[in-house]
Structure 1
Amino acid sequence: MTDLIFFGLAEDGVMSSRAMRPDPFLYPDVEAAGGDLVAALRETGKQMGVPMAGLGESYPPEGRSSHFAAVVEAECGDVRIELRQERREVTVMIRMPLLGIGGYGATGSLEVAVEVAHAWRSGMPLAEMAAEWEFLTVTPEALAHDQGKAVEFEWASIQRLPANLIDQDLVAAAFRSPELRSLFPIVTHGSLQFRRRTISGPGSDVPSIFPMTGGRWRVICLWDPKIPKRIAETTEEAVGIVVAGLPEGCGAAVEVIRAARRGA
């Protein structure tokens, strides 16, 4: 967690707004905006001719000043901008829904932070952002989602999981099915589940496969407990039951991050 600055308490024991300002010697541009990072970023964007839509205060854990953190919100995630205490350093974190931090890095410039935030909100591909700003590190998972390869990435990740987490014979059988290979796979509690969107909440209208003793498998429709469970003797049989139970019109999983960032 980025270190934040505190200079003291007011007489009533409450941190004063002045005390919570960044060091004016390290951040004169923030001091010129009344010690408020959001105001400083807004002014920086104005001078650069860069719109700062979605810019607002970020609310860190209790006891930490929002003067040191700002956020630029976007449909597909947000960019959090923070200031460090011991040196002039503006940290930039790209946070994606359900994935967490997808990109991070640090610069000494508010202008650069504004450029990065605007690029993300405008839909600039993450690979191009990492090439444009070398300090920005992008995670492989975030890059896959941004490029519309999340399904492929997740299948490859699951195929590397140890046997105590998932039966790889089951994974192989499911992967051989074109219908299931095009869905987003999830492994939880030894089960193999499928989603029609790469970013989605709990639950799915696609049947899931759970292990049983004796090498058998239970196929469950988690979205409707009234639908009877099916028992399969082999992985191939379990996969066949899932395919037969796919909802009408089920096709390849929607690559949510790419669609949101490219306006698709």
Structure 2
Amino acid sequence: MDTHRKDLYPDVTAAGGLVSAMKEAAKLHGGEIRPAPSTADAITIETARGLVSVVPATEERRFRVRVHVPGFTWDVSGFTWEIGSTDDLELLAQAVAAWREGVPFHELAARFTFLELDEFVRALEKGEPTSAQWADLLSTEFHRRQWGLLRRLHEDEVLRHMFPTISHGAVRLRVDPFDGACHQVLVDEREGGRYEVRVGVLGAAWVEVPNGELITCLRAALNKQ
């Protein structure tokens, strides 16, 4: 952190960096954050509602907060929202801890007035991360081999609301775009119009599914997990 930024963030410097400073600030108020590996001047926290990043401004004392929902496509694209900024480190740490703990959005907005959640919440209500991900996969040449299967899945009124990704050539459908461990299935199109399906459980086996039973099988697998 350069001299100018040290002048703006003496508390961060004294704590040994932003990670340490935020951990201590959260702990003082009974909260907890678990940062992913970060740079000295920024911090990223993995949560069930996406990746929360905090970046200190250089021109003034201001902690900028963003939320990123990874797309998990071949180019590691995704969706990012700016959700506010504050100059108060303790208030920031409390807000991030509350976000990580799953405090409802309306409560977050009431308790932490620096957060600007309207655009983020509207995007979730409209299913924008999911619809944008479908559009991306269906238009990216890198995934041309999966286009036929993707179109077939997207045509189903239930499956099109699942969050799609590509994993080693197979299409993965997740119930929750934020949660990589939520209900999910993988489906791989093989030669000769055959399909293999694997329920998203560690160590589960691939099972061949007849062409005409594919959609029914995927719906059932997602419903009973």
Q: TM-score range by the shorter chain?
A: 0.5 to 0.7
Measured in 1, the distance between the counterparts of 2:217 and 2:22 equals 55
After superposition, the CA RMSD in angstroms is: 5.1
Alignment partner, residue 32 of structure 2: 54
1:197 to partner: Cα distance:
5.3
Deviation at 1:113, TM superposition (A): 2.0
1:242 Cα deviation (Å)?
0.9
1:91 match = 64
143 and 79 in structure 1: CA distance in 2 versus 1, 3 angstrom threshold:
same
**Rounded Cα–Cα distance in structure 2 between residues aligned with 1:56 and 1:179:** 35
Deviation readout 1:214-256 (Å, 9 max, x if unpaired): xx7331235535x4575xxxxxxx3x33135448664188xxx
Instruction: Tell me what 2:114 maps to.
Output: 133
Asked whether 1:109 is paired with 2:82, we answer no
Change (3 A) 1:246 1:170: closer
How many residues are matched?
206
Show the counterpart of 2:139: 162
Partner letter of residue 133 of structure 1? Answer: F
Aligned counterpart in structure 1 of residue 54 of structure 2, from 81, 92, 96: 81
Kept in 2, the 8 Å contact 1:192–1:209? The answer is yes
1:200 partner SS: coil
Take 2:197 and 2:26, find their aligned partners in 1: how far apart are those partners? 53
Gaps of 5+ in 2: 73-77, 199-203
In 1, Cα distance between equivalents of 2:26 and 2:158: 50
Instruction: Tell me, in whole angstroms, the C-alpha distance in 1 between the residues paired with 2:132 and 2:42.
Output: 36
Q: Say whether 1:194 aligns with 2:140.
A: no
- Given that 2:35 and 2:43 are in contact with CA atoms closer than 8 Å, whether structure 1 keeps it comes out as yes
CA distance in 1, matches of 2:213, 2:193: 11
What fraction of aligned residue pairs are identical, expressed as a percent? 20
CA distance in 1, matches of 2:117, 2:176: 27
Question: 1:219, 1:241 within 8 Å by CA — same for their partners in 2?
Answer: no
Q: CA deviation at 1:118?
A: 4.1
**Does the 8 Å contact 1:103/1:136 carry over to 2?**
no
Amino acid at match of 1:125: F
Structure 1, unaligned runs of 5 or more = 8-20, 231-237, 254-264
**CA distance 1:36–1:210, shift in 2 (3 Å):** closer
Contact 1:107 1:135 in 2 (8 A): no
| 2:214 corresponds to 1:242 | yes
